[in-house]
Structure 1
Amino acid sequence: MNFQFIKLITFSFLLLFVSYSHAQTIEIKGKVIDETSKEPLAYATVLVANSETKQPISGTTTAEDGLFYLNTDAKKFYIEVSYIGFISKNFNQFNVKNNTIDLGTFTLAEDAAQLDAVLVQAEVSRTQFKLDKRVFNVGKDIASTGASALDVLNNVPSVNVDIEGAISLRGNSGVQVLINGKPSILTDDGGALGSITADMIESIEVITNPSAKYDAEGTSGIINIIIKKEERKGVNGSVSLNTGIPDNHSIGVSLNRRSEKFNLFTQFGLGRRSYPRDSEGINTDLDNNTTLINTGTEYRNEKFYNITLGTDYYITPNDVLTLSGNFAYEIEDQPSNYNFQLFDENDALESEWDRNETTEATNPKWQYELVYKKDFKDHDDHDLLFSITGNSFAKDQNSLFNDVTVAGEDYDAAQKIRTDFAEDNFTFKLDYTKPFNQQWSMETGGQYVINDVSNDYQVEDLEDDVFVTDTGLTNIFNFNQNVLSVYASGAYQGEKWGLKGGIRVEHTDLKTLLETTNESNNQNYSNWFPSLHSSYKFSDVVSLQAGYSKRIYRPRLRDLNPFFNIRNSYSIRQGNPELQPEFTDSYEVTTIFDIGKTSLNFGVYHRFTTDVIESITTAEDNVSTSRPENIGTNSTAGFEFNTKYSPINWLTFNVDFNFNYFNRVGTFEDQVFDFNGDQWTSKLMTKFKLPTDIDFEATGNYQSDYETVQGNTEAIAFLDLGLRKKILKGKGVFSLGVRDAFASRYFETFTNQDTFTNYSKTTRGRFFTLGFSYGFGKGEAMEYSGGKRR
């Protein structure tokens, strides 16, 4: 597997060498000022175009002081400098000295006629419905600001980006971010999007109820960033330094070079971080009237290193080949200390002991992708996309647990746990889009996904000074799942009304095997996933969108794997290899109102899910065991509201509210789980633009309590704060963040049954972060935290 990745990286270096060795780069520089005021013109457009075809080759915008720098490998070209409301200036003859063209300082004159037209018809960013998605068109009001892709996303209705760069849709994380309709390693970590600037983005598509084109596997949504074909060329980059309490220290560098033929990018970083967690549990045996109380703190300390390399090679202006890869390596140390107290039926302390853990692990990770995209010349949306993506993850973990008696009955014991884990995932995908005219179009394609996992798990108990294997807890769990999909859809898009229908067929082949005990579970099934979407534009202010899709949730490895590290031997979680998938019918109607500076979004939805997967807890002698099971159906109906409003230039509010009512019906082992309930979530993000380029952000979250199949989960309210200061004309950024300012973000659950009750509470506490980042070229300062945790 590693050898394949090395070949990919070697090819990337070859492409890098070829791009530099076959092109003589010419640097172009100059300064643009206003002819009347003699003041510098910031954000004027500087374009390098082919002398014969007039097609754009390279480009940039001027800085605050009117200066610009860009590079080109072209032989025959001219230079055009333009600015809204000014007469453009062309340079067809120039002197090249030491591979440099210095245009010096020159002026642009105002164009009165153009200024009048600009006043009448300003190009502003707007949102519109397109059948199964909402499209945010980036106008010059944002494109000319020099902002990054993350800043643009924060202007999109229903999308939020917090001050640390985390992206959410409708208040939910887990969003899939695409670039020009294809996955990219650049989107795996929000900080890498800092190399994409606002003037490079044409539009952003938001898909909340995916059509047949996309995986039937449920997600919280899809965001697709459409890059302009005339991408800005040159060298972009950024560097980031971060520190925090508890320990969270990192350094990251992102580099990007664009030329006529190549877009070369890399990102690398290293650091260390610590994730402490406090927990409390109370297990009560109602048959014996005994109670076990446990409290403790566990840590996950990590050192991490990662590097990303990749290139986009433009075979022709309409044919792009992307090759990229990422390697990350983590070294983990996980100490924990738990105290246990056992009380008898008279509430008298019967025994007390401590359980101490020492765990060490190493985690190598690989990611790689090969993508080919062809844009046909007859239509902007006529394209073919083929991609191969893969990732590998391994864990070599060893744990030692020591139980030491503090009082009462002897509970001294020692236990060793060893885990050798390996996972490989591959995705092969082909998509073809064909517009027949301005109204009618079709999409078709296929996908094949391979998921292969092996988990070698061994538990040893100390007996007479010798560690002996516990055969009841030791096994090798193998998981192999292959999913083959094909889809087709057709669409009609008129001036006001549109309709899109499609069908997706997915065949799943799943095999699990416990090698030691020879227990297997094979599942082989095919499913149809229809989708139907429609939209209607009443006016430029009001639009309506409706959609239906069928979704599936296939049990993950965590749901299926019966063996996990037993940190708390009295609160055990197991997987269930015999779980069946969930199926959901999803209906949604959404309307959008564009009112001045405000965009209001209101939607209602209904979801009906069968074979719902729920975690069921059983208990004996104060030992609770949780295991996922398929239990009945869930019918959910709800509504959501979100808006983004800026009453004044320095103040912005983002509001998200979601309420749903659910009806659960199900039976498991003669126990009936029929009940009704409701829950709601809300979020208010307030952003202040303060003097001297300071941004302040406060985000309040509230999640109501709700009933579960065996108990209830308590409500949560928490507040995150962020402060950001721009320096060096926006190229440098200092940031300060406080996550969970009042240490009120905790997870608290109750399980109430006839023979036992359980109480559990976990919290991570308050986090402080401080960072500095600097962008050069056209790169924007980025937030970097070492990439996503697994």
Structure 2
Amino acid sequence: MRKQVLIIIILGFIIGSPLTFAQEVTTTITGKVIEENGGGPIEFATVLVGNPKDQKPIVGTTTLEDGSFILETDAQNFYIEVSFIGFTTKQYDNPQINNAKIDLGTVTLAEDSQQLDEVVVEGEVSQTTFKLDKRIFNVGADLSSTGASALEVLNNVPSVNVNIEGQISLRGSQGVQMLINGKPSVIANEQGNALGTLTADMIERIEVITNPSAKYDAEGTSGIINIVLKKEEKKGLNGAVTLNTGVPNNHSIGLSLNRRTEKFNLFSQMGFGRRTFPSDNETENRNLSDNTYITSNGESDKNETFFNLILGTDYHINDLNVITLSGNFAYEWEKETSDALFSTFDTSNERTDAFNRNELTTATNPKYSYELQYKKDFEGNEEQSLLLSATGNLFAKDQSSDFINTIVFGAGDDMQQRSRTDFSQADYTFKADYTHPWAEKYTLETGAQYQINDVENDFAISDFDGTGFIENPDLTNVFEWTQKVLGIYATTAYESDAWGLKLGLRFEDTDLATLLRNTNESNDQNYNNLFPSGHTSYKFSDNLSLQAGYSKRIFRPRMWDLNPFFNIRNNFSIRTGNPNLQPEFTDSYEITSIYKIGKVSMNFGVFYRHTEDVVERIVAFEDNVSISRPENIGINNTTGIEFNAKYIPTNWLSFTNDFNYSSFKRDGDFEGNSFDFKGDQWSTRLTNKVKLPADFDLEFIGQYQSGYRTLQQEIADNLFMDFGARKKIFKGKAILSLSVRDVFASRIRESITNQPGFYLRDFSQQGRFITFGVSFGFGKGEAMEFSGQKHF
């Protein structure tokens, strides 16, 4: 019996051996890909070996400069696909194998005009889509954003405004929570001012969440803006390179590379550039009691050189489990010079003295961020998922400034001052999110987040005594700020074809501590809050929908709101922080209608916000010196409307209009003084896109922002225009772009503070920026519509 079993095993091995060896045979595939018109070789065309059963790729490669390719596969049953963007795709089913080789010979690809048209249309139209609790702005080829930074792209997003100083507001209000890929990031951190290292070509979409659900961090009284970065996953090697040059002094280069295999997706983006930001500045401090005043007029040039690198990989363990590891490194070298003339006038408007103040500031700003993420999908339900992530963000600033006062009129002595800043910030975020749909129309979301912010700012001001610099102990200290926030949430949603409802509740516990180390002044706070949210939508027809939402939000004072130190660039105008600030809370309500009429799509919304413990800056004035400091001042109620419309009369012409209006009422007092007041503001933006023959495209953007008032200030209105042009060449493989931002150099920043005892005016203007860009895509990558550079 044993012998019989042994004979069967041996026979089975002998019979099965040829099959086993056959499975291990490697087939080599060769060929050359050329164009049908002209017969020129096609470089970076994709050659793919796929499984005919599930249509999934097995292995792939790209062609060389002469169009040739070679690849190997161990598969026994497969098809071969040859493709390149803008050309028809050829597929070889059941190819003939001779001696473990397949020679496809010369593969000729013809132009696909329909595909080219589709690529143009999809790339050029930046469309806004609506979800139950957010709006999604898909970043397309906005021509005026050629060479733009993330801030300039944001300025083209409905409801979002970015002023000349880079401050972001949503529906006219600041206090916006900025996220990158759904998480806090050093790139979006205002302390680092780092959004300039994030370039428009890196952005896939921008999500505007005016009433966030409980799933999101409760930070941000105006709402959340989430920037989602591109991460290509096309098979093979793909990429694009861009080159920019412009005035004033704007030069940069960007590179994007992606390599996708069956298990790994490797992605990278890199940018390097240098740019100068010139500015004209004017200030006036007037004492209305005796009518004496001080003025300053000057120019400044801020030169920034930056480097940005993003590296990451997705490891597909299997169809249901993916691990992502990514990192971002950015480095900035800053050099700023300024020259301002300060003059003092008496009650007769006669100048009594004057001096020139020269500044030289240098700084280095390294920024690091990294993320480890694990996502698990569940078999049988593509909407069910578990997401775990850990994120770290590190930012540092090593800055020094030298100031020299030179007397040019009147009595007095020359003076020298010096300041130094050694700043470091570390942010860590740990998240867990679980989504569980059931019964097709119901979804449960739950999760938790723990966030740690740790900041130290070592600051000193020194005065020159004739022989050396002596630190001023009254203006020198180390400020420490630590904040820890634990959040736990749950939401449940019902969504049918016509009606949807989403309810949620979030709990957050905040532990905050500040310390002035040298003087041992501390302020510790601990508080916890519940943040409910509710959203509903109803679809009356394909052309008409209605949405409504509510959420409770919080604004926690940021580092620079709390930091008591100030810049001595202008000793007569000082801006400082307040370590004792309390958070402000907002209840936000909105109703929005979305409808289409023929070639016009529109949405109209009404919103209302009630905010308590509002943070406002209070200006104090003494000896012609103004000191601005944030304080908690009363209650604010804001009511507003929002209107967006898009009209496409023909396939070569489109118009988009965005309009926002808000009216606010303030009830508050500070130190026994009433600060009750009313005001309003509005803004509108009109975008016109024109498609011309020969692959020429033009874009015009006109924008108006009305003047408005804050607690003590009047902010001037703004009217400006941007322009963009583009020409596609080499069948769309390359793009030439031109952008002119602030065409008429009319964009300004002017504020006037007119109080019973004093009058202040602050004015700045940067002027026109012109950029020319070239972009080229290879592999299956497309030419970038934007290029990398720093923001204004």
Q: CA offsets per residue over residues 175-224 of structure 1, 9 Å max, x none?
A: 96766x77899997897775899xxxxx9976442211111112654568
Deviation at 1:79, TM superposition (A): 4.1
- CA drift of 1:551 comes to 1.1
Q: Percent identity?
A: 52
CA distance in 1, matches of 2:128, 2:384: 23
Q: What are the within-5 Å matches in structure 2 for residues 501-580 of structure 1?
A: 501-580=503-582
Provide the secondary structure at the position in 2 that maps to 1:235: strand
**1:576 to 1:344, Cα distance in 2 relative to 1, 3 A:** same
Alpha-carbon spacing, 1:525–1:418, altered in 2? closer, same or farther (3 Å): same
Task: Give the superposition deviation at 1:437.
Answer: 2.0
Secondary structure, counterpart of 1:472 in structure 2: helix
In structure 1, distance between residues paired with 2:782 and 2:473 = 56
Q: Pick one of 142, 148, 169 that aligns with 1:164.
A: 148
Counterpart among 456, 469, 472 of residue 470 in structure 1? 472
Residue 151 of structure 1 corresponds to 140
Measure the CA separation in 2 of the matches of 1:470 and 1:24.
77
Aligned counterpart in structure 2 of residue 732 of structure 1, from 722, 731, 734: 734
Spell out the pairing of 1:458-497 with structure 2 (5 A cutoff). 458-497=460-499
Q: Specify the SS of the correspondent of 2:473.
A: coil
Deviation per CA, 1:678-718: give whole Å up to 9, x if none. Answer: 11011011111122211111111100011221131111111
- Map of 1:242 onto structure 2: 244
In the superposition, relative to structure 1, how do residues 703 and 789 fare at CA in structure 2: closer, same or farther (>3 Å)?
closer
Q: What is the CA–CA distance in structure 2 between the aligned matches of 1:126 and 1:700, rounded to whole Å?
A: 19
Q: How far 1:381 moved relative to its partner?
A: 1.1
- Displacement, 1:464? 3.6
Give distance in 2, aligned partners of 1:81 and 1:293: 70
TM-score computed with the length of structure 1 as normaliser: 0.83
Q: Distance in 1 between matches of 2:230 and 2:90?
A: 25
Query: In 2 relative to 1, CA 468–182 (structure 1 residues): closer, same or farther, beyond 3 Å?
Result: closer
What amino acid maps onto 1:172 in structure 2?
Answer: V
1-structure distance, mates of 2:126, 2:419: 57
Q: Does residue 711 in structure 1 map to residue 695 in structure 2?
A: no
Alpha-carbon contact 2:186-2:367 (below 8 Å) kept: no
Q: Which residue of 1 aligns with 2:133?
A: 132
- Do the aligned partners of residues 415 and 185 (structure 1) sit closer, same or farther apart at CA in structure 2, a change above 3 Å counting? closer
Contact kept, 8 Å, 2:186 with 2:395, in 1: the verdict is no
Give yes or no for contact 1:71–1:233 (8 Å, CA) kept in 2. Answer: no
Deviations 1:451-473 (CA, angstroms, capped at 9, x unpaired): 11111011111124332211111
Shift in Å, 1:535: 0.6
Contact 1:536 1:545 in 2 (8 A): yes
Deviations 1:222-241, CA, capped at 9 Å, x for gaps: 5687999x953121111111
The correspondence of residues 147-546 of structure 1 with structure 2, limited to 5 A, is: 150-151=139-140, 164=148, 166-168=152-154, 169-172=157-160, 194=201, 207-218=209-220, 220-222=223-225, 232-546=234-548
RMSD: 3.8
CA distance 1:233–1:488, shift in 2 (3 Å): same
The amino acid that maps onto 2:539 is: K
Distance in 2 of aligned mates of 1:135 and 1:357:
43
CA distance in 2, matches of 1:784, 1:631: 43
Report the equivalent of 1:116: none
- Partner in structure 2 of residue 15 of structure 1: none
Indicate conservation of the 8 Å contact 2:523/2:580, yes or no: yes
User: Cα offset for 1:560?
Assistant: 1.1
Give me the whole-angstrom Cα distance separating, in 2, the residues matched to 1:24 and 1:390: 46
Structure 2 CA distance, aligned partners of 1:68 and 1:460? 67
Aligned length: 719
Q: Report the residue type matching 2:636 in the other structure.
A: N
Q: Distance in 2 between matches of 1:326 and 1:679?
A: 38
CA gap 1:604/1:631 in 2 versus in 1, 3 angstroms:
same
Aligned pair in 2 of structure 1 residues 630, 135: CA closer, same or farther (>3 Å)? closer
Post-superposition offset of 1:564: 2.9
Correspondence for 1:647: 649
SS at match of 1:465: coil
Q: Say whether 1:50 aligns with 2:51.
A: yes
* Mapped partners of 1:482, 1:380: distance in 2: 34
Residues 254-275 of structure 1: per-residue CA shift (max 9 Å, x gap): 1111111111112223221111
1:520-576 CA deviation, whole Å, 9 max, x = no partner?
111111111110000101011111111111111111111111113211111111011
List gaps (5 residues or longer) in structure 1. 1-22, 35-43, 111-123, 137-148, 198-202
Q: Quote the Cα distance in structure 2 between the aligned partners of 1:435 and 1:681.
A: 41
CA–CA separation in structure 1 for the residues paired with 2:417 and 2:346: 26
Task: List per-residue Cα deviations over 1:368-398 (Å, max 9, x = no partner).
Answer: 1111111112212111111111221111111
Q: CA deviation at 1:409?
A: 2.4
| Number of the residue aligned with 2:75 | 75
Q: Contact 2:565–2:577 (CA<8 Å) still a contact in 1? A: yes
2:298–2:341 CA contact under 8 A, matched in 1: yes
Residue 761 of structure 2 is matched in structure 1 by 759
Q: Separation in 2 of the partners of 1:704 and 1:358? A: 35
Query: Aligned partners of 1:245, 1:679: CA distance in 2, in Å?
Result: 33
CA distance in structure 2 between the aligned counterparts of 1:517 and 1:640, rounded to whole angstroms = 49
Higher relative contact order (CA 8 A, sep 6+): 2
**Are 1:172 and 1:220, in contact at CA under 8 Å, matched by a contact in 2?**
no
Deviation, structure 1 residue 618: 0.8
| Structure 2 counterpart of 1:622, one-letter code | N
Deviation at 1:132, TM superposition (A): 2.0
Give 3-state SS (helix, strand or coil) of 1:298's partner.
strand
Distance 1:399 1:589 in 2: 50
Q: 1:651-696: per-residue Cα shift (whole Å, max 9, x none)?
A: 1111100011111111011121111111101101111112221111
Closer, same or farther: CA 386–484 of 1 in aligned 2, 3 Å: same
Q: Alpha carbons of 1:645 and 1:71: their partners in 2 closer, same or farther (altered >3 Å)?
A: farther
Of 593-602 and 689-698, the range deviating more from structure 2: 593-602
C-alpha distance in structure 2 between counterparts of 1:616 and 1:24, whole Å: 76
C-alpha displacement at 1:789, in angstroms? Answer: 5.8
Kindly indicate whether the alpha-carbon contact (under 8 Å) linking 1:726 and 1:732 is maintained by their aligned counterparts in 2.
Answer: yes
Contact 1:132 1:211 in 2 (8 A): yes
For 2:612 and 2:332, the matched residues in 1 are separated by 39
TM-score between both structures, scaled by the size of structure 2: 0.83
Q: Deviations over 1:719-747 (max 9, x none)?
A: 11111111111121111111111111111
CA distance in 1, matches of 2:229, 2:568: 46
Which residue of structure 1 lines up, in the alignment, with residue 688 of structure 2?
686
Amino acid at match of 1:337: D
Query: Are the structure 2 counterparts of residues 25 and 748 from structure 1 closer, same or farther at C-alpha, using a change threshold of 3 Å?
Result: farther
Residues 474-504 of structure 1: per-residue CA shift (max 9 Å, x gap): 1111111111111001111122111110001
Structure 2 residue 711 is the aligned partner of structure 1 residue 722: no
Larger radius of gyration: 2
User: Whole-Å Cα distance in 2 between the matches of residues 667 and 331 of structure 1?
Assistant: 44
Question: Taking structure 1 as reference, are residues 456 and 426 closer, same or farther at Cα in structure 2, changes over 3 Å only?
Answer: same
Query: Residue 726 of structure 2 aligns to which amino acid in structure 1?
Result: R
Alignment partners' CA distance in 1, 2:285 and 2:502: 53
Give the aligned residue type for 1:170. Answer: P
Aligned-partner Cα distance in 2 for 1:247–1:279: 20
- Superposition deviation, residue 341 in structure 1: 0.6
Alignment partners' CA distance in 2, 1:765 and 1:215: 37
Partner residue in 2 for 1:113: none
Give the equivalent residue in structure 2 for 1:776: 778
From the superposition, tell whether residues 519 and 531 of structure 1 become closer, same or farther in structure 2 (CA, over 3 Å): same
Secondary structure at the aligned position of 1:347 is classed as: coil
Aligned to 1:746: 748
1-side partners of 2:234 and 2:433: how far apart? 27
